[in-house]
Chains A and B, each alone.
Chain A
Amino acid sequence: AIQLTQSPSSLSASVGDRVTISCRASQGISSSLAWYQQIPGRAPKLLIYAASYLGDGVPSRFSGSGSGTDFTLTISSLQPEDFATYYCQYFIIDPYPLFAFGPGTKVDVK
């Protein structure tokens, strides 16, 4: 099975900082990758899909890039509401649908 790794596992940042989170797949997954934000006690929220497309209502300070095995989520200017845990997620269709998440990256206040 394809494994996703995220780095760093956690980071401390300040409001206004540019934040970059990496997600690496053990095999190529084309652009079949999404990013989710989860605030403690709440359900995850889809931020980015197909590696680089912004989810509905997601602020433009969030962006995604990459394809194949290496992907990046960037927050251009961290806002107070962005302190959360971020997960990447991939899917494959052949030979049958399979889905998995990365282990997560926690962004907290410096």
Chain B
Amino acid sequence: QVQLVESGGGVVQPGGSLRVSCAASGFTFSSYGMHWVRQAPGKGLEWVAFIRYDGINKYYADSVKGRFTISRDSSKNTLYLQMSSLRREDTAVYYCAKDRWNYFRDWGQGTLVTVSS
């Protein structure tokens, strides 16, 4: 079955950088688009970024455009989110999700990123 396992979260200072990862298994990773979705503590869901199956086209929410980069390595079945110029408001649980017809079909358990000095 589909399994998505995020890792790499932690505490980072404002202005710092962090990369989170999502290891995928149970499906043909190279055939599916993938998303990052985040949820600030006690808040709702916010879509962050989407990468198409081939890794060529990438799309971002305005709130992270120019600061975050989504990428994938199909040889490792892994999705990445490189985050830079982090702000306190980027504090959230970051989920990866498998795309199916532009919906979020399968989700990982999330990894917590805390931006704090």
A residues with CB within 8 A of B: 32, 34, 36, 38, 42-46, 49-50, 55, 87, 89, 91, 93, 96-104
Q: How many residues of B contact A (CB 8 A)?
A: 19
Contacts of A101 in B (CB 8 A): 44-47
User: Is B117 among interface residues, defined by CB-CB distance under 8 A?
Assistant: no
Asked whether, in the complex, the Cβ of A32 is within 8 Å of the Cβ of B95, the reply is no
Chain A residues with CB under 8 A of B44: 87, 101-104
Residues of chain B whose beta carbon lies under 8 Å from any beta carbon of chain A: 35, 37, 44-47, 50, 59, 95, 100-105, 107-110
Contact residues of B: prevailing secondary structure: strand
Complex CA gap A50/B100 in Å reads 11
Q: Write out the residue numbers on chain B whose beta carbons fall within 8 Å of the beta carbon of A44.
A: 37, 45, 95, 104, 107
Q: Which residues of B contact A49 (CB under 8 A)?
A: 100-101, 103
Residue from A50, A89, A102 with most neighbouring chain B CB atoms (10 Å):
A89
Tell me the complex Cα distance, A100–B48, Å.
Answer: 9
